[in-house]
Structure 1
Amino acid sequence: MSTPELKVHPSPFAAMGPCDAGACARDRLFSAAIDLFYRHGIRAVSVDAIAAEAGTTKVTFYRVFESKDDLVVQVIEEQSKRFWEWWDAIVADHPGEPRKQIEALVDRFRDDIIGEETCRGCAVGNAAIEIGDDHPARAVIKRHKLEIAHRLRELCRQMGARQPDVLGDALSLLFSGAFAARLTYDGREQIANVSAAATALLDSPALGAPQQ
């Protein structure tokens, strides 16, 4: 897949690092939670660990957040927001060109999850593995994942794909598989082929809209 050189858009697929020491306690706690949850997992990170990383106390934590579950919901909402900011910025580079938008998303996705040394896959998807079905963050995760599928289906429809829903879902699963490969066994050699796989799907006579 070949696309023009794109603008640099901040990657949502990396650990964030600590918040500025001069920030308010709430911001330090929130930043610490985002970083620790992504690097170590939600279950492995205690309220005490978040407070210590933020340079504050457990008492302060519970003054700011109702519970750890409340914080988890807010963290996942923020991670989803950052993902869509990344997505929208890339798509905006190719207005009115749905195929190029898909290609640019796939190429940047490939480059970011290969290039980010701290990448541990999809933060939202990772959370889904750790929380129960009754957790309040479950709805946030479901909404995020369904929106990815919806947007890809719509882009495929706009590019005139023969089976836009099937093609969009296939591309969505390609993203999910690459995330899983990066998290479980590094998988960068395989992830490097994501763009070629996407091109094969887009050009498929059965699913896509082959370029003339």
Structure 2
Amino acid sequence: MSTKFPDKAADPSAPAAIPPRERIVSSAADLFRKFGIRGIGVDAIAEAAQTNKMTLYRKFGSKDELLCATLRQVTQRAGAIWDELEREFSGDAAAQLKRWVEFQVDRLEQEPGGCDLANAAVELRDSDHPAHAVVQEFKNSQRNRLAAVCEAAGSSNPELLADTLSLLLEGARVSVQTSGPEGSSRRFKESCEATIAAFSSR
């Protein structure tokens, strides 16, 4: 009599083990990043997610709705930095601000393709596209969080400092794409530190 071994457990990291919605969002985000929003269709997204168009449209009513879902996923990951800063430097806003700069330096090196949100906003010229609302809401919330940290750190003008740092970051992201890592973006950290010092009230 032969011994029957139990079936091998499914690999939780295998695509089929991941819920369809998550697979679709993840695949769409990767493809949008590689080929652009207009350069990829739902057929390719469904294939990459190992599903079909019927399932895709059942989970997302349209490609635009799917795009917004991918952008919200980006905002959730990017927005988590504030919780990390608070945990790591609780009660020390100056240290949080310094680490925020270092974090952005790391992102510039790790994401030479730029910010997914900004790239989407540039590609989608129709100002009424729903993705613009997602981008604007996130960018504004990030700027406001930054302003709050600047104020807690004792800045003489936290609102202006937050706007200046935000502009430096957006400019550095563009510089990486247009001039490479050895362009003006290499001075991002130095520029931020000089700006923070200039706005110090201490």
Q: TM-score under structure 1 normalisation? A: 0.81
Tell me by how many angstroms 1:202 deviates.
Answer: 1.1
Alignment of 1:40-189 (within 5 A): 40-114=35-109, 116=110, 119-131=112-124, 132-189=126-183
Tell me by how many angstroms 1:26 deviates.
Answer: 2.2
Per-residue CA deviation, residues 153-208 of structure 1 (Å, 9 max, x unaligned), is 1111112211111111101111111211223333355333222111111111xx33
Question: Helix, strand or coil for the counterpart of 1:137?
Answer: helix
Q: Distance in 2 between matches of 1:78 and 1:94?
A: 25
Which is greater in Rg? 2
Amino acid at match of 2:114: G
CA contact (8 A) 2:176 2:183 kept: no
Residue 26 of structure 1: which of 4, 21, 30 is its match? 21
Q: Could you say which structure has the higher helix fraction?
A: 2
Structure 1 residue runs without a partner (length 5+): 1-18
Question: Which residue is 1:16 aligned to?
Answer: none
Question: Which residue is 2:4 aligned to?
Answer: none
Tell me by how many angstroms 1:100 deviates.
Answer: 1.1
Amino acid at match of 1:73: C
Alignment pair present for 1:208 and 2:186: no
Question: Helix, strand or coil for the counterpart of 1:161?
Answer: coil
Q: CA RMSD in A?
A: 1.8
Alpha carbons of structure 1 residues 45 and 179: separation in structure 2 relative to 1, 3 Å:
same
Amino acid at match of 1:130: E
Per-residue CA deviation, residues 50-77 of structure 1 (Å, 9 max, x unaligned), is 1121122222221221000110111111
Percent sequence identity over matched residues? 32
CA contact (8 A) 1:156 1:167 kept: yes
Alpha carbons of structure 1 residues 52 and 121: separation in structure 2 relative to 1, 3 Å:
same
